[in-house]
Amino acid sequence: MTNELASWVDTPTRRAITAFVERVSSGPNAVPEAERVAVFDNDGTLWTEKPMPTQLHYVVEQWRKQAEADPSLAERQPYKAAVTGDYGWLGGSVDKHYEGDDSDLKVLIGALVGVTAGMSVDDYAASVAEFYEKAKHLTLGTPYADAVYRPMVELLRYLEANGFTVYIVSGGERDFMRPMTEAYYGIPPEHVVGSALGLAWDEDSHEVRYTAGLDFFDDGPEKPVRIWTRIGRRPLIACGNSNGDMPMLDFTRKGDGLALLIHHDDTGRGDPAYDKGADAALAAVDERGYTVVSVRDDWSNVFVDPAAG
């Protein structure tokens, strides 16, 4: 059975996971299969979020295209940064978010809103698919498909083999994730929960289109709310990597579930070490009963393609 977790070292962490899954999926304490729900954060949990989340890379690409079409834009920010490939200001805005200052992140989400306002959901899906086809990860240099954590995809398959249904519950924008979750993780669009751009029915064209607003930002206390909205069940397993995942982990622990916290403590295999944005979660591990997954100690391979790890 444990061969499926081939990129996991035989550590107490791995044994905690398999013991929990065995207990709830067989024997006298088995939970009905329909209730075996697992929720996973995306950025920093299933794939990299450094040097910046992929969604931000997409937005920058759209700004670059806009500046190409209208060169006068290239003289000012954020288009200047997009054209010249200066990711410092952009990455800094995400770091500020983890320090509790969302001001720049909201500017960026506002920029995404500006990119999609008026688009039909089908046209946005096509634009996103084109990005995934062409873009390269900014430090790994690989397609984003190869920036996926191999042990985590193995964990998804292992859970499914034991009757679990897996949902992605991420701060990333839902429709930006849907094409990649299906292609890279095998998770279908109806199992993707994320931040939501506003949507409205267009009676003239009979299409659903994005508005110029943000519906909600699916992070922190919003995560358990959206889990209930979408699934209507309390998860048995939750997995995240940052402070914003704590409510989701706590909601799961309240039902005696398994709460996994990925700790980015590795160097030399392409995934940088960082605690920023995870400090509160790491400090609460004992009190709240989280199970820490160490990238350094628990994973024998980091990336989908072992040659890249």
Cα 32–Cα 224–Cα 287 angle in degrees, nearest 5: 90
Distance CA 81, CA 300 (A): 37
- 203, 207, 208, 211: CA torsion to nearest 10: -70
Q: Give the residue with the Cβ less far from a second copy, 151 or 172.
A: 172
Is residue 250 a contact residue for a second copy (CB under 8 A)?
yes
Under the criterion CB under 8 A, does residue 192 sit at the interface with a second copy? yes
Q: Does 224 bind a second copy (CB under 8 A)?
A: yes
Is 82 in contact with 68 (CB distance < 8 Å)? Answer: no
**Which pair of tokens denotes residue 111?**
């920029």
Residue 82 or 115: the one with the smaller Cβ distance to a second copy is 115
Q: Give the residue with the Cβ less far from a second copy, 86 or 207.
A: 207
- Please report which helix (H) or strand (E) contains residue 113, including its range: helix 103-116
Alpha carbons 196 and 178: distance in angstroms, whole number: 12
Could you say whether residue 200 binds a second copy (CB under 8 A)?
Answer: yes
**Given 78, 235, 240, 247, the residue binding a second copy (CB under 8 A):** 247
Q: CA-to-CA distance for 154 and 202, rounded, in angstroms?
A: 41
| Candidate ranges 38-46, 205-213, 259-267, 275-283; the one touching a second copy (CB under 8 A) | 205-213
Instruction: State yes or no: residue 214 binds a second copy (CB under 8 A).
Output: no
229 binds a second copy (CB under 8 A): yes
Least spacing, CB of residue 224 vs a second copy, in Å? 5
Under DSSP, is residue 137 helix (H, G, I), strand (E, B) or coil?
coil
For a second copy, which stretch binds (CB under 8 A), given 18-26, 106-114, 245-253, 290-298? 245-253
One-letter-per-residue 3-state SS of 6-48: CCECCCHHHHHHHHHHHHHHCCCCCCCHHHCEEEECCECCCEC
Nearest approach in angstroms of CB 192 to a second copy is 7
Query: What's the min distance (Å) between Cβ of 273 and a second copy?
Result: 29
Considering the complex, what minimum distance in angstroms separates the CB of residue 111 from a second copy?
22
The distance of closest approach from Cβ of residue 202 to a second copy in the complex, given in angstroms and rounded to an integer, is: 9
Q: List C-alpha distances in Å: 45 to 33, 41, 153, 284.
A: 24, 6, 10, 18
Which residues are at the interface with a second copy (CB under 8 A)?
Answer: 34, 121, 165, 174-175, 178, 188-190, 192, 196, 199-201, 203, 206-208, 220-225, 227-233, 247, 250-251, 253-254
